[in-house]
Amino acid sequence: MQKFTDQTGYTIQLDSSPKRIVSLVPSQTELLYALGLEDQVVGITKFCIHPEHWFRSKTRIGGTKRINAEKIFSLQPDLVIANKEENLQAEVELLRTGVPVWTSDVDTLDAALDMIRQVGMLTGENEKAAALIQQISTAFSQLKPASYPEKVAYLIWKKPYMTVGHDCFISDMLKKCGFTPAFDQLNRYPEITVNDLQAAAAELIFLSSEPYPFKEKDLAELQQQLPSSRILLVDGELFSWYGSRLRYAPEYFQHLIDQLGPNP
C-alpha cells in the first residue's frame, strides 16, 4: 500500500496502480490520455472534450461543479482525480466517503509540472510524466517574452465581465509571456465593468475562447467603448489548461507576441 499527499495536503492510500480512474477536470483528463491510460479511465466530465474519442465514448459523470456522485460510485473507481478550483469541496468530500480522491491545486507553471509528476507517480507512469515535463520545460525555456511589459486585461466572461487576478494560472501564463496583468492587485476571477477597464488603461485586452466563447462581435462591441486598447481573441485552452496541452502553449504564445510587433 502506498500513500500519496495531494497538492492540497490531503493524503490518500492506494493498494496498487489504479485500474479504474474518474477524472473531474478537463485538462487533467487530457493528461491521463497523454500518459497512455486509455483503458484505466472510466469516467470524465461533460467538459472533457479532449481527446475527442474519449468525449464520445467514456461515461460522463456530470459537470465539474455538478457531478453525479451516484454515477461515479457505480463505476467503482479506485481513484478520482479532482482540482481545488474547478470542483466543489462538498462534492469532493462526498466522493471521499467511498473512493480515494486526489486533488490538484495549480496556479503556476511550476505547480502544473509538479501536478504532472505526481499524477505520473499515482498512475505508475513516472517515465512518461518525466518526459512530458521535460518537453514542456524545454518549450517554455525557448519562449522569448514580449520586449516591453504591456498591460493586459484578460477577460473570461461577459455579463458581467470577469477577468483574472494575481493568484490564478492564467495570470502566471501572462507573466511568462512578459505581460503585466492589468488586475493583478485583485484575487481569483473578479467581476469588472467597462469603466474599470478604462481606468486600468490596458494596452491590450485578450478575449478568451473559454469559459465564455468570445467572438468577433464581442470584440467589436468592446472596441467601440475602448478605442485606445488593442483587443484580440485568444485561445483560452492554451492559457488555462495546465496538463499535457502545455506542450503547445509556448509556440502559441510566441506567435501571439510576434503578432503584436515591437515596442511602438
Domains of the chain and CATH, by start? 2-106 (3.40.50.1980), 151-260 (3.40.50.1980)
* DSSP helix/strand/coil, 206: strand
Q: Helix (H, G, I), strand (E, B), or coil: what is residue 109?
A: helix
Separation of CA 46 from chain center: 16
User: Cell for 84?
Assistant: 481545488
Average pLDDT, the chain: 96
**Which residues of the chain register pLDDT less than 50?**
none
Rounded-to-integer distance, Cα 77 and Cα 54, Å: 17
Bridge-partner residues for 104, per DSSP? 83
Cα 113–115–117 angle (5° rounding)?
70
- Of 24, 56, 26, nearest to 43 by C-alpha is 24
Q: How far apart are CA 119 and CA 6, in angstroms?
A: 9
pLDDT digits (tens, 9 = 90+) for 203-245: 999 999 999 999 999 999 999 999 999 999 999 999 999 999 9
**Residues facing 205 on adjacent strands:** 153, 231
| Confidence (pTM) | 0.95
Pull the grid cell for residue 64. Answer: 465539474
- CA-CA distances (angstroms) from residue 19 to 2, 13, 31, 57? 15, 14, 16, 17
pLDDT at 75: 98
Measured between alpha carbons, how far apart are the two ends of the chain, in Å?
60
pLDDT given for residue 261 in this prediction: 79
